[in-house]
Amino acid sequence: MKLVVATRNRDKLKEIKTLLKDLPVKAFSLNSFKGVPDIIEDGSTLEENARKKAAQTSRFLKKFVVADDSGLEVEFLNGDPGVYSARFSGKGATYKSNNEKLLRLLKDIPPAKRKACFKCVIAVADKGKVIGVSEGKCNGKIGFKSAGDNGFGYDPLFIPDSFKKTFAQMSQAQKNKISHRSIALAGAKKIISNHLSLYL
């Protein structure tokens, strides 16, 4: 069965495909389809955005869809960048400019006040309707400088609890064992499996 991952972000797709590989589905991203309208992520929560992306994409493509919305919440910044993680440094934001802004805002802030957490919400939709939502969270802290070349986004700055290295210094397999996305996907896989059994 075909499953559409409602993203154009190749980094996310790579992680999601790896995490779904034991399910009897073949995953495609939006890059495999023409004319899918961009969905405006104007929700005030990750869940609102994930639900909107999943439902609208499923309605448009008439397919089975998973959509992820994720972000980084930094305690010292009262939960920012949160839902604005992708565009934290403004128009034309890149992973690099976002990371630079975060380091600037946390300059001279001591380790005890650099707590952060990654959150991921995955919504699953079929026939235009959301059939389930799953959430994952990974606690950690923000380092003082960028470290590591793996992963994407804020990975070079995020040191998960109980580790002395950033997500970007881990292999994808290591990150996948503890990441917010893998926890959310474990829940989403149950929703997907239950739904697939309806087709058998």
- Binds ligand IMP by CB under 6 A, chosen from 29, 54, 61, 71: 71
153 lies in the binding site for ligand IMP (CB under 6 A): yes
Size of the site for ligand IMP (CB under 6 A): 18
User: Is the torsion defined by CA of 43, 47, 48, 53 positive or negative?
Assistant: positive
Q: How far is the CB of 153 from ligand IMP (least distance, A)?
A: 2
Closest CB to ligand IMP among 79 and 196? 79
d(CA 21, CA 44): 31
Provide the terminal-to-terminal Cα distance of the chain, rounded to the nearest Å: 11
Strand arrangement, sheet containing 158-160: 26-29, 2-5, 65-74, 115-126, 129-142, 158-160
Q: Is 136 in the site for ligand IMP (CB under 6 A)?
A: no
Q: Is 69 marked active-site? A: yes
Q: Among the options 11, 22, 69, 126, which is catalytic? A: 69
Place of tokens 């959430």: 135
3 vs 121 by CB, closer to ligand IMP: 121
- Residues belonging to the active site: 69
